[in-house]
Amino acid sequence: MSFLSDAEMVIKVLNEYYIESVSGKRPVINQRPLGEIINDLNLAAHVKKGDLSQDHLLKFIKKYLSLTTRLHHPSYLAHQVAAPHYAGALGSLIDGFTNNAMAIYEMGPAASSIEYFMINWLLEKVGWQPSPIENEQENKKDHFAGGVLTHGGSLANLTAMIAARNKIAPESWKKGSPKDLALLAPAGCHYSIARAAGILGIGQDAVYYLEADRKGAIIPDRIPVVYEKLMNNGKRAIALIANACSTAVGIYDPLMEIGDFCADKDLWFHVDGAHGASVLLSEKYKYRLKGVEKADSIVWDAHKLMRVPTLCAALLVRDHKNIDRAFEQEASYIFHDKEQPGFDFIHRTVECTKAGLGLRLFMVLAALGEGGLSEYIEHQVELTMDAFEYIRQLPGFECAVKPQCNILCFRLEGSDNLQLKIRDQLNTEGEFYLSTTSFNNVRYLRLSIMNPHTNLDVIKQLIQKIRKIKAKIDQSI
Ligand SMILES: *Cc1c(COP(=O)(O)O)cnc(C)c1O
C-alpha cells in the first residue's frame, strides 16, 4: 500500500502550494476553459488506467493546484469562504479517512461527541443554555438549547424554516404546508431564504420584505406596517428573519428591537448569522449582535469567518425541542429512546449520512485557541475599516456604506458597466480577485477580507491596478 508515501508527498506539495500562495507570486485566480482543464489533467486516462499514485499522483496534484483559485493568496478578496487554517484541513482529512457517518452515535462516537461539544460551545457564545452532557441531568432541566452542524448555511436556514413551520403548523408534516403561511425577511436577505420558501411549498411570493434604511438594515418602527399587511392578507408568519450581517454589504440588523417585536407577537425570530455571527467571539465587536439571545434560532457558518474548510455550518435553537421536532411530529427529545451512551443527531437534520463536521471546527479552534480566533476576526474587521477610510477619501471613488464586518463595497464614478468591466479585467489578469454586488440598485465592487495575510498595502496596490485599468478603458473609448 502506498498510502504513507502518497500522503507524505501530497502534504509536502500542499505545503509548497501554501508558501507560494501566501507569497502572492502566482495569480490568485486563473480561469482556463473547462475542456482544456479536463484534457490537461488527463482525467480520462487516469480513470482508464487506475494509475493515480506516486509519480502520476505528483504530476497530477501539481497540475491540479496550478489550476486552483488560491484562497491563501493575500489578494484573495472575493467570496465569504475561509482561507482555511491547515489544522481544519487536517480535520477534513481525518474525517474523510475514518468516514464515521456520525448522525447516529454508534457510527461515530468521537465525531458525535465533538459535534455535541462544539454545539454547546457555540450556544454559550450566543448566550443560551447548553445541552446537558449526562443523561441524568436531562430530567432535571428541560430548558436548554440545541443545535446541529450542517453542510452549509443554506441548508441550516432551510432546516430552521422547517422547524419554525412545524411549530406554527404542526399538521404540515403529514398534510403539507397550509396555504396561509408566509415569511418576513429583510429585502437584503440571502437567497437561501427565498429558496427555503420555495422548498417548503409556501412559495417565494409568500416572503414579505421588511423596509430597510439606506444601509439596508431593517427599520424596527416599520415592521408593523408589513406585519399588518401580511395579517390583512389572511396570512400567518412562520418566522421573521434578520441579517447578522447582510451578505451584500455586511450590515447588522437591530436585533434587540426586532426581538422585542417578535416576542410581543409570539413570532419565531430567526437570525441569519451565517457570515457575521462570528463576531460573537470578539469582546470588542459582539455588541453588533446585541439582542441575539432573544432569537429562537440562529445560523452560524464556521467556514466563513472561523478559518474552517467548507463546509461547516451550525443551526442553533434556543429551545432544543424546536429542532427535535423539525423532521418528526412525535419526536423523543433527547438521547432518544434507545439504550446507548450518546446522542443521535439524525432527527435534527435533512442529511442521513453526515460527515463529522465538528472535527474540522474543533481542530481550528484548538490550534488557534479562542483568543487567537478572536484576534483574527478583529484584525479582519479593523483592516476593512482601514480600507474604507483609505478608499472613501480617494477622488473618483465612493463606498456603499461604512462597514460593520469584513465586507467592503465601493465603486468608481461611472456606470455599472464600468465596474463590471474593471472586475472582468482584474479576473483576466489574475493579480487580484474580488467580487461585485448590486446594492440599492447600483453595481459595486465588493471585497470580503477573509485572508489573515491581506494588509492595507494589498488594498492600495489593488486601487492602483484599478486606476490603471480605468485609464486604459478611458483611452479605448
Ligand atoms: C453565506 C450566507 C448564507 C449561505 O451560507 P452557505 O454556507 O454558503 O450555504 C446564508 N446567509 C447569509 C447571510 C450568508 O452570508
pLDDT for residue 332 is more than 70: no
Q: What percent of the chain has pLDDT over 90?
A: 92
Q: Whose CA is nearest to atom 2 of ligand 1?
A: 274
With the most atoms of ligand 1 within 8 angstroms of its CB, the residue from 155, 192, 357 to mutate is 192
Please tell me the predicted confidence (pLDDT) of residue 136.
Answer: 53
Distance CA 202, CA 177 (A): 7
Distance CA 80, CA 406 (A): 9
User: Which residues, including other chains, have CB under 8 Å from residue 51's CB and lie 6 or more apart?
Assistant: none
Q: What is the 222 CA–ligand 1 centroid distance (Å)?
A: 26
| Residue 143: pLDDT band with limits 50, 70, 90 | confident
pLDDT for residue 334 is more than 80: no
Cα within 13 Å of Cα(323), Cβ side? 33
Q: What is the 244 CA–ligand 1 centroid distance (Å)?
A: 11
| Residue 1: pLDDT band with limits 50, 70, 90 | low
With the most atoms of ligand 1 within 8 angstroms of its CB, the residue from 149, 150, 189, 190 to mutate is 190
Q: What is the DSSP letter of 131?
A: P
Partners of 301 in the β-ladder: 313
With the most atoms of ligand 1 within 8 angstroms of its CB, the residue from 189, 301, 306, 312 to mutate is 301
Over range 421-448, report the average pLDDT: 97
Q: What is the 469 CA–ligand 1 centroid distance (Å)?
A: 32
Please tell me the predicted confidence (pLDDT) of residue 335.
Answer: 47
pLDDT for residue 193 is more than 80: yes
Contact 46, 61 (CB under 8 A): no
Cell of 76: 484573495
> What are the backbone angles phi and psi of residue 11, rounded to the nearest 5°?
-60, -40
Q: What is the 150 CA–ligand 1 centroid distance (Å)?
A: 12
Distance CA 347, CA 332 (A): 9
Q: What is the 274 CA–ligand 1 centroid distance (Å)?
A: 5
CA distances to 47, 75, 120, 204, 259 from 291, rounded to whole Å, are 54, 35, 19, 28, 7
- Ligand 1 atom index nearest CA of 190: 11
With the most atoms of ligand 1 within 8 angstroms of its CB, the residue from 80, 154, 189 to mutate is 154
- Ligand 1 atom index nearest CA of 245: 13
Lowest mean pLDDT among 137-146, 183-192, 390-399: 137-146
Please tell me the predicted confidence (pLDDT) of residue 17.
Answer: 98
- Ligand 1 atom index nearest CA of 155: 9
pLDDT digits (tens, 9 = 90+) for 291-321: 999 999 999 999 999 999 999 999 999 999 9
- Ligand 1 atom index nearest CA of 303: 7
| Residue 337: pLDDT band with limits 50, 70, 90 | low
Average pLDDT of the chain?
95
User: Which residues, including other chains, have CB under 8 Å from residue 179's CB and lie 6 or more apart?
Assistant: none
CA distances to 201, 424, 427, 468 from 420, rounded to whole Å, are 36, 6, 11, 15
Lowest mean pLDDT among 104-118, 321-335, 429-443: 321-335
Over range 33-60, report the average pLDDT: 97
Q: What is the 298 CA–ligand 1 centroid distance (Å)?
A: 12
Centre a 10 Å sphere on the Cβ of residue 324 and count the other Cβ atoms it contains: 20
Over range 321-337, report the average pLDDT: 70
Please tell me the predicted confidence (pLDDT) of residue 395.
Answer: 97
Over range 322-328, report the average pLDDT: 87
Lowest mean pLDDT among 17-26, 131-140, 144-153, 311-320: 131-140
User: Which residues, including other chains, have CB under 8 Å from residue 216's CB and lie 6 or more apart?
Assistant: 186, 187, 188, 246, 248, 249, 251, 401, 439, 440
Please tell me the predicted confidence (pLDDT) of residue 477.
Answer: 76
Q: What is the 470 CA–ligand 1 centroid distance (Å)?
A: 32
Please tell me the predicted confidence (pLDDT) of residue 137.
Answer: 53
| Residue 325: pLDDT band with limits 50, 70, 90 | confident
Q: What is the 111 CA–ligand 1 centroid distance (Å)?
A: 24
Pocket of ligand 1, beta carbon within 6 A: 80, 152-154, 157, 190, 192, 243, 247, 272, 274-275, 301, 313
The 3-state DSSP class for residue 317 equals: strand
Helix (H) or strand (E) holding 304: helix 302-305
Centre a 10 Å sphere on the Cβ of residue 350 and count the other Cβ atoms it contains: 16
Helices (H), 50-171: 54-66, 86-98, 109-126, 135-140, 153-168
SS (H, E, C) 101-127: CCCCHHHCHHHHHHHHHHHHHHHHHHC
Q: What percent of the chain has pLDDT over 70?
A: 96
- Ligand 1 atom index nearest CA of 311: 7
With the most atoms of ligand 1 within 8 angstroms of its CB, the residue from 79, 218, 247, 253 to mutate is 247
The model carries a pTM of 0.97
User: Which residues, including other chains, have CB under 8 Å from residue 400's CB and lie 6 or more apart?
Assistant: 249, 409, 410, 411, 439, 440, 442, 444
Q: Whose CA is nearest to atom 6 of ligand 1?
A: 153
Please tell me the predicted confidence (pLDDT) of residue 119.
Answer: 98
Q: What is the 161 CA–ligand 1 centroid distance (Å)?
A: 14
Cell of 382: 479593523
Q: What is the 35 CA–ligand 1 centroid distance (Å)?
A: 30
- Ligand 1 atom index nearest CA of 275: 15
Contact 240, 297 (CB under 8 A): no
Distance CA 312, CA 301 (A): 6
Please tell me the predicted confidence (pLDDT) of residue 310.
Answer: 96
